[in-house]
Amino acid sequence: MDGNGRWARGRGRPASFGHRQGVRAIKRVLQACEDLGVHALSIYAFSTENWARPRAEVRALMRLFHETMQREIDEMHRRGVRIVVSGRRDELSARMRERIDEAMARTANNTNGVLNVCLNYGGRAEIVDAVRKLVRDGLPAQKVDEEAISSRMYNPELPDPDLIIRTAGEHRVSNFLLWQSAYSEMLVTETLWPDFGEDELKAALAEYALRVRRFGARPAAEIAVG
């Protein structure tokens, strides 16, 4: 969800103003996912690297996450959305962890859709944490395979993303879902996150529908003609 800062700066406002508008975009996109039949949505809210931002911005972001989770949980639950949070919990405040546990526990049995909030999330940190679990589980080297690692990710039951949308024109992965994105389709849009909505999502899905996914194999038609 990139571009909140630029969106705010363009209006002569502080980054936190852009982050607030960013939350509105999340609500629009979540609704659009429901309408368009997208079952799982992962949003990159805060990376393990974002702590390096100015203290006031970090504090404003944390306050915004906390307040948003508190305010939106009832509606999410009513709409049957399951909320999961991916990331390192122990570096978050106790009250944030409480909100997260509450949201996850309350919505655990919902089946209308999944919202995966990546908070204090890093793709490398997730792999490191999975390897730690492997070691703690005492797995011998010959038992270490992709399944052993996949099953130790933060939320192993989530499907790998089919499509990753990067807003604000950045062409980099920024430590997002490194393990899970091995064969994800990537799409970069110039649209700043606060301006993202149903129309942009529709356009992204239309573009996705044109992609041919081979997962490293050769398509059947190509084999047929030699």
Kindly identify the residues of this chain, within the stretch 2-31, that bind Mg ion according to CB under 5 A.
2
Q: Does residue 193 touch Mg ion according to CB under 5 A?
A: no
Q: Does residue 82 touch ligand IPE according to CB under 6 A?
A: no
Q: Does residue 194 touch Mg ion according to CB under 5 A?
A: no
Q: Which residue is nearest to ligand IPE (CB)?
A: 5
Q: Does residue 68 touch ligand IPE according to CB under 6 A?
A: no
Q: Does residue 200 touch Mg ion according to CB under 5 A?
A: no
Taking alpha carbons only, the member of 122, 48, 40, 133 closest to residue 92 is 48
Q: Which residue is nearest to Mg ion (CB)?
A: 2
Query: Structure tokens of 3?
Result: 């571009």
DSSP H stretches of helix in the chain: 4-9, 15-36, 55-78, 94-107, 123-136, 146-150, 198-210, 220-224
Q: How many CB atoms lie within 10 A of CB 104?
A: 15
d(CA 26, CA 92): 21
- Cβ(1)–Cβ(43) below 8 Å: yes
Active site residue 2: yes
Q: Does residue 15 touch ligand IPE according to CB under 6 A?
A: yes
Q: Which residues bind Mg ion (CB under 5 A)?
A: 2
Catalytic residues: 2, 50
Q: Which residues bind ligand IPE (CB under 6 A)?
A: 1-6, 15, 19, 45-46, 50, 168
